[in-house]
Copies of this chain bind each other. A is one copy, B any other.
Amino acid sequence: MLMQNNHAFENAEKTGEAINAGQSLSSLFLSSAAEPVAAGKAICWEGDQAKHLFQVEEGVVRLHRIIGEGRRVITAFHFAGDLIGASLQNDFIFTAEAVTECKIRRMSRKSFHDEVARSDALGPAYISLLCQEAAAAHEQMVLLSKKNAEERLCSFIVKLASRRNPRQGLVRIPMNRQDIADHLGLTIETVSRTITKLASRNIVIPEGRHDLRIVNLARLKQLSGDADDFSDDSCHRVNLH
């Protein structure tokens, strides 16, 4: 399927154009060294001047904001190939931290914009990337606004599963429960309970803390509440008409 993704958590379906967009922008970062970042370490801080863009060469990164009293919102996760900071103007509006051990490349905002301005291909690629991010943000707003705990978890798992995963049916969950909770607007306990419930219905099987075996992907998609799909309950969309 996809060898490289521009932005974490996009819809699985991408136009060939969009994929190329990410690849061509990523190539700008190849001239800089891949810096190792230990799990849990920050890559940039909310409020700092956004002098650089980053590219995730390897590993998983979380973007978050803290609003008083330790309320943390993880607005996105970024995976290998993704760019961080493309949609910024002046300052970082999020803190980026390594979820796992990472390799990160960086590039100054100025030279990034210079390169984009210089090339005919890069401008549209950049705009395409920003549009994809907007679509992802849109999707997340719907999730946070109207979905219940089960729908949120199922949406999340389906998205993870739609990334290229090594073994069929086994999805890697690189982040811990607290990260998932803060991304889905839930608590750690609710995440835990909901996974347990899905497991008891034999929809997924947890294999250790960081892997999930997907038993019934169709059901998972159905439960993710992205309606307009099979509105009549049972899943015989197959033999209609």
A134 & B144 in contact (Cβ 8 Å cutoff): no
Are A142 and B231 touching (Cβ within 8 A)? no
Q: How far is the CB of A154 from chain B (nearest CB, A)?
A: 13
CB distance from A101 to the nearest CB of B (A): 27
Closest residue on chain B to residue A21 by CB atoms: B89
Instruction: Flag whether A132 is at the interface (Cβ < 8 A).
Output: yes
Contact, CB under 8 Å: A131 / B134: no
Q: Mark A74-91, 1 if CB is under 8 A from B, else 0.
A: 010000000000011110
Quick check: A141 and B132 within 8 Å, CB to CB? Answer: no
Query: Roughly how many angstroms separate A146 CA and B66 CA in the complex, as a whole number?
Result: 10
Q: Is the CB of B134 within 8 A of A87?
A: yes
| Residues of B contacting A231 in the complex (Cβ-Cβ under 8 angstroms) | 68
Return the contact of A228 from the options B18, B67, B88, B142 (Cβ within 8 A).
Answer: B67
Residue of B nearest to A120 (CB): B117
Cα-based distance from A132 to B87 in the complex (angstroms): 8
Taking CB atoms, residues of chain B closer than 8 Å to A132 are 89
Contacting pair A68 B185 (CB below 8 A): no
